[in-house]
């Protein structure tokens, strides 16, 4: 497994995004037809970067920035409601808004025999940020010395000799003081699958309103129960007591000890059904039909100039 830093990931992501846009935009300009529908991830490109195109853009809000345009697809209903509340005071009219849960290919994740899972092993798989809950995760490890805690994700820095983990938005963590915590760094796809499959549970103790939490969906698809906050997109993606636990501030320790009550096979079955491509496809088609009907009803062409 490899160790990587957030700063390396950030540079790589920015370069990949720019390269992708430079390849994509000429193709769009050459091939678009009036009224075409384009799935546009708002985090990556602004609509005004699409030169000489007048297309219907579906803003698939992946998280982060608050942008309001016609026709927005949110990842979860709680995120949609939270986002739209920001604009109530401005009397902003938003046309054509919906939420469509993500889809995941079950073949991309492995669900092993529950008996092969490593007992009492808890996984944190996200960026090592205080707002994401990394410091809180390590505190949980301190109060559960007989359990194993894995960390997989980029950090601002990591010294393998001193085991000092750099947290970009908070105090660094001295992992040498936590013998039951192991840091894997950034992991490749194969090791990501292995960690998700063999862990007893995934813990994602975010302090902010998570739009969705893709790592949680991936864990469930791997047959691994989850412990998440009792707010945010998790309230739609996680059924409390069936595939994991929605935790209040004082619940984490109690539910860590109760995680054995969750059936890993039910987590997999739930994820396959809940996050299916067929379900998402039909919901997108329904939304596209709604957009076209709305456009015809208004008897006017959409204009994003």
**pLDDT of 285 strictly over 50:** yes
Residue whose tokens read 């991830």: 41
Give the separation between CA 272 and CA 295, rounded to whole angstroms: 34
Structure-model confidence comparison of residues 67 and 179, the more confident one: 179
Percent of the chain exceeding pLDDT 90 equals: 61
CA–CA distance, 272 with 278 (Å, rounded to integer): 11
Q: What CA–CA distance (Å, rounded) separates 216 from 212?
A: 8
Structure tokens at 119: 């007992």
Task: Provide mean pLDDT across the span 205-229.
Answer: 96
What is the tens place of the pLDDT at every residue in 139-192? 999 999 999 999 999 999 999 999 999 998 999 999 999 999 999 999 999 999
Task: Supply the pLDDT for residue 46.
Answer: 58
b (16+ CB within 10 A) / e for 103-129: bbeeeebbbbeeeebeebbbbbbbbbb
Neighbours of 304 (CB within 10 A): 13
296 pLDDT higher than 50: yes
Q: What size, in residues, is the chain? A: 305
Location of structure tokens 């927005």: 72
Three-state SS annotation for 121-144: EEEEECCCCCCCCHHHHHHHHHHC
Is the confidence at residue 61, as pLDDT, over 60?
no
226-269: per-residue pLDDT in tens?
999 999 999 999 999 999 999 999 999 999 999 999 999 999 99
| Structure tokens that stand for 222 in this block | 């791997």
Instruction: Of 204, 208, 249, give the one whose Cα is nearest residue 226.
Output: 204
Backbone angles phi, psi at 45, to 5 degrees: -130, 145
Q: What is the pTM of this model?
A: 0.84
pLDDT of 303 over the 90 cut = no
The whole-number pLDDT of residue 140 equals 98
Return the pLDDT at 50.
55
Contact 302, 295 (CB under 8 A): yes
CB 163 within 8 A of CB 176: yes
- Residue 57 β-bridge partners: 38
Task: For the chain, give percent helix, strand, coil, nearest 5.
Answer: 40, 15, 40
**Each residue's pLDDT tens digit, 28-59:** 778 877 767 666 665 555 555 554 445 566 66
**What pLDDT does residue 110 have?**
94
Q: pLDDT class for 26, splitting at 50, 70, 90?
A: confident
Distances from the Cα of 152 to the Cαs of 114, 132, 165, in angstroms? 21, 13, 12
Measured at the CA of 194, the angle between CA 165 and CA 224, to 5 degrees, comes to 95
The confidence score (pLDDT) of residue 96 equals: 76
Q: What is the pLDDT of residue 15?
A: 78
Angle at 122 between CA 178 and CA 140, to 5 degrees: 50
pLDDT score at 19: 81
Encode pLDDT of 96-118 as tens digits: 788 999 999 999 999 999 999 99
- pLDDT for 271 beyond 60: yes
pLDDT band at 291 (very low <50, low <70, confident <90, very high): confident
- Cα–Cα distance measured from residue 277 to residue 103, given in angstroms and rounded to the nearest whole number: 5
Query: Hey, what domains does the chain have and what are their CATH numbers?
Result: 23-101+277-298 (no CATH), 106-274 (3.40.50.2000)
Res. 90 pLDDT band, cuts 50 70 90: low
Tell me the DSSP string of 42-92.
TTT--GGGSTT---EEEEEE-SSS----SSEEESSHHHHHHHHHTTGGGT-
Query: In the numeric block, which tokens belong to residue 57?
Result: 């853009």
């Amino acid at each position: 497994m490899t160790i990587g830093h957030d700063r390396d990931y950030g540079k790589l992501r920015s370069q990949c995004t720019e390269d992708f846009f430079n390849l994509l935009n000429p193709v769009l300009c050459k091939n678009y037809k009036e009224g075409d529908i384009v799935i546009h991830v708002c985090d990556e490109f602004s609509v005004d970067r699409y030169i000489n195109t007048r297309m219907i853009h579906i803003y698939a809000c992946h998280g982060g920035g608050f942008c309001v345009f016609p026709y927005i697809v949110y990842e979860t209903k709680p995120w949609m409601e939270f986002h739209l509340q920001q604009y109530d005071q401005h009397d902003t009219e938003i046309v054509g808004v919906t939420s469509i849960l993500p889809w995941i290919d079950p073949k991309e994740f492995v669900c092993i025999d529950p008996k092969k899972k490593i007992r009492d092993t808890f996984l944190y798989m996200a960026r090592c940020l205080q707002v994401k809950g990394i410091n809180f995760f390590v505190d949980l490890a301190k109060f559960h010395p007989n359990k194993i805690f894995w960390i997989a994700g980029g950090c601002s820095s990591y010294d393998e000799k001193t085991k000092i983990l750099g947290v970009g938005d908070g105090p660094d963590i001295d992992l040498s003081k936590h013998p039951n915590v192991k840091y894997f760094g950034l992991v490749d796809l194969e090791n990501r699958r292995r960690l998700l499959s063999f862990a007893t549970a995934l813990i994602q103790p975010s302090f902010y309103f998570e739009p969705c939490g893709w790592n949680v969906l991936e864990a469930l698809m791997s047959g691994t129960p989850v412990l998440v906050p009792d707010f945010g997109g998790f309230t739609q993606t996680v059924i409390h007591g069936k595939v994991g636990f929605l935790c209040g501030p004082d619940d984490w320790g109690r539910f860590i000890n109760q995680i054995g009550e969750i059936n890993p096979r039910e987590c997999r079955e739930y994820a396959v059904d809940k996050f299916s491509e067929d379900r998402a496809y039909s919901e997108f088609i329904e939304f596209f039909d709604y957009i076209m009907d709305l456009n015809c009803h208004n008897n006017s062409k959409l204009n994003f100039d």
